[in-house]
Amino acid sequence: MGDPAVIRIFDTTLRDGEQSPGATMTTPEKIQVAEQLVRLHVDIIEAGFPAASPGDLEAVKEIARHVQDVAIAGLARAAVSDIDTAWEAVCDAEQPVIHVFLATSALHLTHTLKLGFEEALRRVKEMVAYARNLCPTVEFSAEDATRSDWEYLCRVFEAAIKSGATTINGLGERAGNTAMEEVVMALRTRPDCFGNLDTRINARAFLATSQLVSKITGIPVQPNKSVVGANAFAHEAGIHQDGMLKNRMTYEIMTPQSVGWADTKLVLGKHSGRHGLDARLRQLGCKLNAEQLKVAYSRFVSMADHKKHLTDADLLYIAETSMETFSAI
């Protein structure tokens, strides 16, 4: 297998993510996130939608001026005024990008834009060409692409490319964007399934980036979220803990350290097995013999049935009383 082909990562946290209800960021917060995305090694940061408001315009300008070593994109509808504003916002960037979009589904063309198919096609040609005359890199997205007629969608993309667009993406609104950490780690853990593809991403920065965005936006990461969720590398079930203690790869296809976590966490609860309890007690400095462990595990199961989370203090109490039981015999 030769060297992997490199896929460029386009991050839209500061544009589409920031449009999520309740996720609005200040300009200093956006710059902080952008600088973290540089540490993550993304290829393109979509910094905002400059035509949306004067605040968005200024925020994108600031990011373009201050954030280095990455391409900075501004989103624009397929309209001259939007494209001019986007160019004003990103023109000072090291690698400026104008990201032009237009809806292509019959539903949007008819009800939202009130455009015919051929008229929309002409607009794509004209506006992508206009943007290309301003900016060396133009990206085109078809909004609602998955509900568009496929033959028509191909005609739109072909027109965009001929007019000067250098990248093509489907635009996902609200819940439509893929999770970068899932895509990157899928490529890295299963190169056999994806044709030996990779990215420039520094995956060890995933957790820090996720936690920064969560802190700034006030939107928590659900515990069962893959890769960056609190439970991603936590195991309570006895069969999982036993497998992990024998060989980590049994239940983890990547190491926690590879995405920024310190280590795997064995969570002790009512589903845990004896091996998991023994391993945690040894970490706490308690080495029980077979008979002591048998008693300790029985007491552990009884306590776990009544308490949702057992603390280290609970475990030490169980260990000490189990050892005392045998000392008294």
**270 pLDDT band (50/70/90 cuts)?**
low
User: Is 171 in the same domain as 302?
Assistant: no
Residue 229 is assigned to a structural domain of this protein? no
**Mean pLDDT, residues 28-35:** 92
* Better-predicted residue by pLDDT, 318 or 263: 318
| The pLDDT value given to residue 44 | 93
39 and 164 within one domain: yes
User: Do 141 and 205 fall within a single domain?
Assistant: yes
**208 and 321 share a domain?**
no
Contact status, residue 316 vs residue 280, Cβ threshold 8 Å: no
159 and 68 in a common domain: yes
Measure the CA–CA gap between 131 and 189, rounded to whole angstroms.
38
Nearest to 16 by CA among 73, 61, 66, 63: 73
Radius of gyration of the chain (CA): 26
Q: Which of 121, 97, 119 is nearest to 42 (CA)?
A: 97
6-32 average pLDDT score: 82
Strand-pair partners of 98: 74, 138
Q: State the residue for tokens 């819940």.
A: 175
> Are 242 and 210 found together in one domain?
no
In a domain, 228, yes or no: no
Spatial contact of 165 and 124, defined as CB atoms under 8 Å apart = no
Query: Both 245 and 297 in a single domain?
Result: yes
210 and 248 housed in the same domain: no
Task: Specify the number of domains making up the chain.
Answer: 2
Q: What is the mean pLDDT of residues 147-172?
A: 79
Give residue 239's domain range. Answer: 234-328
Single out the residue of 178, 116, 167, 107 nearest to residue 143, CA to CA: 107
What average pLDDT score do residues 262-284 get? 70
Q: Both 201 and 278 in a single domain?
A: no
Residue 128 in any domain: the answer is: yes
Chain centre distance of CA 103: 25
Highest-confidence range of 142-146, 150-154, 321-325, by mean pLDDT?
150-154
- Residues 197 and 251 placed together within one structural domain of the fold: no
| End position of a domain, from candidates 163, 188, 217 | 217
Assign residue 140 the CATH number of its domain: 3.20.20.70
Kind and range of the H or E run holding 215: helix 206-217
Residue 74 lies in a domain: yes
Reported as a pLDDT band with limits 50, 70 and 90, residue 271 is low
pLDDT tens for each residue of 82-141: 999 999 999 999 999 999 999 999 999 999 889 999 999 999 999 999 999 999 999 999
Phi, psi of 140, deg, nearest 5: -120, 135
Which of 162, 191, 217 is at the close of a domain? 217
> Between 307 and 119, whose confidence is greater?
119
Please choose, from the candidates 74, 173, 51, the residue with its C-alpha nearest in 3D space to the C-alpha of residue 131.
Answer: 74
Q: Report pLDDT digits (tens) over 214-244.
A: 888 888 888 888 888 877 776 555 555 555 5
Backbone φ and ψ for 25, nearest 5 degrees, come out as -120, 155
Give residue-wise pLDDT tens across range 163-219: 887 674 333 344 457 788 888 888 888 888 888 788 889 999 988 888 888 888 888
Number of residues assigned to the chain: 329
227 found inside a domain: no
Percentage of residues in the chain having pLDDT higher than 70:
83
Residue 224 counted as domain residue: no
pLDDT surpassing 70 at residue 265: no
CATH code at position 286 = 1.10.238
Residues 177 and 246 in one domain: no
Same domain, 70 and 97: yes
Last residue of a domain, one of 183, 217, 251: 217
Residue 255 lies in a domain: yes
Q: What does pTM read for this prediction?
A: 0.73
Give Cβ neighbours of residue 190 (< 8 Å, ≥ 6 apart).
Answer: none
Is residue 81 situated within a structural domain?
yes
If we measure between CA atoms, which residue out of 210, 219, 221, 220 comes closest to residue 181? 210
